[in-house]
Amino acid sequence: MPDAHDITLRAAATGRRLPAFLARPDAEPGTDPDAPRPAVIVVHEVMGLNDDIRRIATVFATKGYVALAPDLVGSGFKPFCIARFFQGIGKVGTGRPYREMAAFQDWLERQPYVDPERIGMAGFCAGGGFTMLYAARGGRNLRAIAPFYGALPGDESMIPDLCPTVASYGGRDKVYGALGPTLEAALADAGIPNDVKTYPDAGHSFMSRHGGLIGAIGPHLPMHDAFDEDASTDAWARVLAFFGEHLAGGTPTPATSA
């Protein structure tokens, strides 16, 4: 099993100390456990870091990637924190989430067990939209990104500034589900390697196993927010194959279920 645990990181750009989750893959017998590996930054959904994002980060670690999942929402009165998070995202490239993510990326690149030239990012929901914005206007040396059911940049002229992109949408999502073809066409026009797929029978957050109130009411809302086993399994296989080509230098073992 991966070495996975919660940590606290200080973002020098803002002075905030924020929680994060770090998962490191097990070393194969006879290999150096501190040998530099490719890494993936996992960006949470709107509510911030939770056990489901920890689960997703751990899956990346089981496939050979160092995975870091920072919490950009932070602690405090949750509605206020979420509003502040979105306000910061709107200040593309300069808002607090971008500055804090740059600090987290700096920290990750300094770790001896990470290859700083092989950093990727995967984002979900709000994190999916942020992943595209960060890659276009904030990220340095990102080799590949995997945005899931995220909004496209309001200024679509940013799309040609993305790195290789593997994106996924749920066709039953009435808010973001129709965005896949637009993203795919813009990436293709810009000559950016891409794999964009829409799953017609899945809704929003089809990668996430939500419980509580969200898990109960999500499937009945216009976004049809619910985990979908078939879409999730296929999306994991696509992401791992794409990251294997553009980030890891070789295709990791495909996921069968996560």
Compute the 3-state secondary structure of the chain and give helix, strand, coil in percent, each to the nearest 5.
40, 25, 40
**Maximum average pLDDT range among 5-19, 134-148, 167-181:** 167-181
Give pTM, 2 decimals: 0.93
**pLDDT the model gives residue 221:** 81
Q: What is the pLDDT of residue 256?
A: 39
Q: What are phi and psi of 158, to 5 degrees?
A: -75, -25
Strands 3-11 and 16-24, sheet pairing: antiparallel
Token look-up 């080509």 returns 245
pLDDT digits (tens, 9 = 90+) for 174-198: 999 999 999 999 999 999 999 999 9
Report the C-alpha gap between 241 and 79 in whole angstroms.
37
Cβ neighbours around 199 below 10 Å, total: 22
- State mean pLDDT over 76-96: 93
pLDDT digits (tens, 9 = 90+) for 155-169: 999 999 999 999 999
Largest Cα separation within the chain, whole Å, is 51
pLDDT number for residue 254? 40
**What average pLDDT does the structure give for the chain?**
91
Instruction: Tell me the per-residue pLDDT of 217-241, one tens digit each, with 9 for 90 and over.
Output: 878 788 888 999 999 999 999 999 9
For the chain, which domains are there?
Answer: 3-248 (3.40.50.1820)
Buried b (16+ CB within 10 A) or exposed e, 118-137: bbbbbbbbbbbbbbbbbbbe
The residue among 147, 120, 119, 144 whose CA lies nearest residue 132 is 147
pLDDT in tens, 37-79: 999 999 999 989 999 999 999 999 999 999 999 999 988 888 9
Please give the Cα distance from 68 to 204 (Å, whole number). Answer: 23
Among 236-240, 248-252, 254-258, the minimum mean pLDDT is found in 254-258
The pLDDT assigned to 215 comes to: 76
Q: What is the pLDDT of residue 258?
A: 52
Decide the pairing of beta strands 165-170 and 142-148.
parallel
- 239 neighbors 141 (Cβ within 8 angstroms): no
